[in-house]
Amino acid sequence: MHCDPRFSRVREVFERQLADGSELGAAFAVHLDGELVVDLWGGVADRHTGRPWEHDTPAFAYSCTKAITATVLLQLAERGLVDVQGAVADVWPEFAARGKGAITVEHLLTHQSGLPVVEEPVPVEEFGDLAAIAARLAGQAPLWEPGSAHGYHALSYGFLVGEVIRRVTGKSVGELVSAEIAEPLGLELWVGAPDPVIARTARLKAGERPQAAATEGQAEAEPAEGALGPGSLMVAEMAKAALDPHSLMNRALGNPGMHRLKGGANHPVILRAGWPAAGVVTTARGLAGFYRSLIAGDLLRPETLRDAVRPRVDGPDRVLFLDTSFGLGYMRPSMTFPMPSETAFGHSGLGGSLGIGDPERGLAIGYVMNKMANAVSGNLRGLRLVQAVYDSL
């Protein structure tokens, strides 16, 4: 492990959270101006076997994937292969069905397409057939006028954006991440993990269940930690929706249903599938390295990134009820992504994982763990570590 003395406060917080049982197993990594200044890991990777968390233990990081998928698409846009302002149907003609001809690629990236739910239950046999799931969405009508509002497309985001990428390149998001991001940069990061990686992946432990909790892979009844305050009415609405299996929130988070497989997101089918909205398996070092490369200009031109992190939508979310803010696939500071800096961007994952870039401060941060919080976005443990980083600057 490594921790620059300037960031001793971060190590103190990390070790305390492991010692007091807040964490089961976790890893946290920070780059400052391109230098790895924090690389911590500890605890237990699998509570059933007692397997320790090692330096190369990866974890399933849910929606941290969305920022990676957005980056792949923006790389294609830089090459002139995709027009972000153009209609999705230009590259995916079947998508124009049911009045969707005017939906743009930007609408997909900003959760404005009105397609947050896969309406028909996706059979387990189809979990690895991303094109088939995308075809289901192509046959649906939007739930609201595209561009008129935004609502978190928890899983459908990936099938939609991923199909645009496949139509243009003939390759999956996972294949492109491997060939153009992870392997060239030496990052421990996979969107669709191979079996040797699955064998050492940390096993997730579900968070404590409220009385009427949803199944694994769905929203919990608890609001995101740190989201209380002026938006208490929004929090109450979110909590109410989390307890209703027919709510838009649970429908968006629960189909395809990871909970239908033994162990949920721990099942090899999920870890291999490479869902482009919730499929990344990564170490904290790999996730932080992704953001280091992103803000260094290794993955996107600086002007592309500046435009991509500019807020496109901001305010009440039709799916999560809380205020959310998004650029082109990247989260911006909001109730669901509470950051110490307005220049931070990135993406959180269900239960607590976090990936953050802050170009103004030269920071790139990755946090993964296996003790899930009862939160759709972020957790207090990760936010304490992030705050300690900023306090150390």
Mean pLDDT of 156-166: 98
- pLDDT for the residue numbered 209: 45
Q: Is 45 exposed, middle or buried (0-12, 13-18, 19+ CB in 10 A)?
A: buried
pTM: 0.94
Evaluate if residue 35 carries a pLDDT over 50.
Answer: yes
Q: What is the pLDDT of residues 116-131, one digit of tens each?
A: 999 999 999 999 999 9
Higher confidence at residue 107 or residue 236? 107
Banded model confidence at residue 239, pLDDT cuts 50, 70, 90: confident
* CA–CA separation, 45 and 287 (whole Å): 18
Q: Number of structural domains, the chain?
A: 1
- pLDDT for the residue numbered 374: 76
Rounded (10°) CA dihedral 65, 58, 193, 88: 0
- pLDDT for the residue numbered 216: 34
Banded model confidence at residue 237, pLDDT cuts 50, 70, 90: confident
End-to-end C-alpha distance for the chain, whole angstroms: 20
Is residue 350 a contact partner of residue 196, using CB atoms and an 8 Å limit? Answer: no
Evaluate if residue 213 carries a pLDDT over 60.
Answer: no
Higher confidence at residue 235 or residue 250? 250
* CA–CA separation, 275 and 127 (whole Å): 9
Total count of residues recorded for the chain:
393
- pLDDT for the residue numbered 284: 98
- pLDDT for the residue numbered 76: 98
Paired residues of 364 in beta bridges: 31, 357
Evaluate if residue 208 carries a pLDDT over 70.
Answer: no
Mean pLDDT of 22-42: 98
Strands (E), 230-374: 280-282, 313-316, 323-326, 345-348, 354-358, 363-369
Mean pLDDT of 366-370: 98
Name which of 80-84, 162-166, 376-380 the model is least confident about.
376-380
Dihedral sign for Cα 180, 184, 189, 194, please: positive
- pLDDT for the residue numbered 234: 80
CATH code, domain carrying 212: 3.40.710.10
Give me the domain span that covers residue 35. Answer: 2-392
- pLDDT for the residue numbered 214: 35
The C-alpha angle 241, 276, 101, rounded to 5 degrees, equals 80
Evaluate if residue 248 carries a pLDDT over 80.
Answer: yes
Q: Quote the percentage of the chain above a pLDDT of 90.
A: 88
* CA–CA separation, 230 and 233 (whole Å): 8
Evaluate if residue 217 carries a pLDDT over 50.
Answer: no
Mean pLDDT of 373-385: 83
Q: Mean pLDDT score of the chain, rounded to an integer?
A: 93
Strands (E), 192-299: 280-282
- pLDDT for the residue numbered 377: 62
Q: What is the pLDDT of residues 174-196, one digit of tens each?
A: 999 999 999 999 999 999 999 99
Evaluate if residue 155 carries a pLDDT over 70.
Answer: yes
Evaluate if residue 23 carries a pLDDT over 60.
Answer: yes
DSSP 142-204: PSS-TTS-----TTHHHHHHHHHHHHHHSS-HHHHHIIIIIHHHT--EEES--HHHHHHSPPP
Banded model confidence at residue 235, pLDDT cuts 50, 70, 90: confident
Q: What is the pLDDT of residues 55-104, one digit of tens each?
A: 999 999 999 999 999 999 999 999 999 999 999 999 999 999 999 999 99
Q: What is the pLDDT of residues 284-332, one digit of tens each?
A: 999 999 999 999 999 999 999 999 999 999 999 999 999 999 999 999 9
- pLDDT for the residue numbered 212: 31
> Count of CB atoms within 10 A of residue 20's CB?
8
Evaluate if residue 215 carries a pLDDT over 70.
Answer: no
3-state secondary structure 70-124: HHHHHHHHHCCCCCCCCEHHHCCHHHHHHHCCCCEHHHHHCCCCCCCCCCCCCCH
Mean pLDDT of 192-205: 98
